[in-house]
Structure 1
């Protein structure tokens, strides 16, 4: 993609035209562009306002969803990990089953619920189901399981209540699992295609994931540059959260 973003349009069409445009001949890919150019980047940044609209739409979908996963998922995961109540195992099993179900299975009921609530063709139709996703709760619960019981017992002896224990002990010590869930949630929401395609009919609400296939069919240079700019936040978030992903995986296997 980086080479394609710097490649002249005629050379790019000659290289990929037989594949993407159905032309005669065989596709090829040169090692380096014959004459590097920044024209596709300038065209995208200066002459393509819809790119910025859809980039902002993506941000409006992703960040509320991830914030909701934190506000909803962390307390629920703490309850599953530390509280013992009737039906806990059954309820957690239901969460795991829902986590394993692909979107195609829950698409119809989700559509009916969104339509019944009057949320169709709004960003909330995508945000709300993502906020209550079960996968972040599963990851966070495994991280909370690594918190030593002796530490919680000591906090209880010192007079700490459930909320104080959660905020002062659970959240700091469970931060690797929380950040792991948020990183994975960001990557999933940023690249989501099926959910926006199902719930959003107005093109002005589309995220970049739905915009890229359209420009790929029109202009290859813009498609390469757009793909790079869309990939950049995911790469940066992953590089930032890689350490926490590793810590979350390690903490889930620790025993007191």
Structure 2
């Protein structure tokens, strides 16, 4: 009986943070099904500071008109959505071409000072965007890339974070396997393509998933480097919505979650494996 009570207590302690995490998503879905008048009545105290804010789990009059308006009458939403997808896709493709070979080189080709060099390289992950914003602005201006989507894409392509994640997966490859392949006549490109990529799949997928989540929700970089609102990603469009457009914001946020949930559901096993590799010590 005591053991059963202990298990129930542990379960309750685990469910509490889970509920705190899920509750905002549930309220987001609920808000997307409310009509405009009901949302205005419930959110007015947040904007005016007068009265008490309250929110219900179930709308008084559920409706899908908000989704209809957003999907059929708001072309700006689709334009910014595809801006987000285009920039995210370009960043991930660039990281595959840059970060994955770099991580393989750090993990496989050991030399004097290689560990120190990798440690110094990964320190770049600790530098916030606010520190490098001015230098990035000057470089991008000199390259005539300001107010273009490349101003957001190129700095993200050369991020140190995907290199760090992929490094753990490649480090787990036995050196004896690589040496045996070299003896059998495999070149360095063959080692990377036929041994490195399959065995380092966990780290690569985790880097791509976390990179997708980061790039799809970028706010500071587009805000700093993009003046033309037609180039903005969807992550900048939603915060601009006022109380009268709150219903649209709820629906847009729900739709914006769909690609994230799809990617996470498809590759969550590889994400866990990659995070495990990243935490391993040599």
Q: Give the TM bin, normalised by the shorter chain.
A: over 0.9
Deviations 1:19-67 (A, max 9, x none): 1x21531010112111111111111111111101100111111000011
What is the SS of the residue equivalent to 1:184? helix
8 Å contact kept, 1:111–1:199 = yes
Give matches, 1:57-68, under 5 Å: 57-68=83-94
Match of 1:94 in 2: 120
Q: Structure 2 vs 1, CA of residues 255 and 80 (structure 1 numbering), >3 Å: closer, same or farther?
A: same
Match of 1:50 in 2: 76
Residue 3 of structure 1, aligned match among 26, 30, 36? 30
Q: What's the offset of the Cα at 1:86?
A: 4.4
Which deviates more, 226-235 or 245-254?
A: 245-254
Residue 139 of structure 1, aligned match among 146, 165, 182? 165
* TM-score, normalisation: structure 2: 0.87
* 2:263 matches 1:237: yes
Deviations 1:123-159 (A, max 9, x none): 1000001111110001101110111122112111111
| Ranges in structure 1 where 5+ consecutive residues have no aligned partner | none
Equivalent residue pairs, number: 255
Which deviates more, 228-237 or 190-199?
A: 228-237
Q: What's the offset of the Cα at 1:215?
A: 1.8
Measure, in 2, the Cα distance between the counterparts of 1:251 and 1:24.
Answer: 51
Measure, in 1, the Cα distance between the counterparts of 2:111 and 2:279.
Answer: 24
Measure, in 2, the Cα distance between the counterparts of 1:253 and 1:26.
Answer: 46
* TM-score, normalisation: structure 1: 0.95
Which deviates more, 70-79 or 90-99?
A: 90-99
Give matches, 1:166-185, under 5 Å: 166-185=192-211
8 Å contact kept, 1:4–1:12 = yes
Measure, in 2, the Cα distance between the counterparts of 1:132 and 1:95.
Answer: 11
Measure, in 2, the Cα distance between the counterparts of 1:211 and 1:45.
Answer: 15
8 Å contact kept, 1:146–1:252 = no
Deviations 1:51-87 (A, max 9, x none): 0110011111100001101110111000000102344
Q: What's the offset of the Cα at 1:91?
A: 2.4
Give matches, 1:80-91, under 5 Å: 80-91=106-117
Match of 1:38 in 2: 64
* 2:150 matches 1:113: no
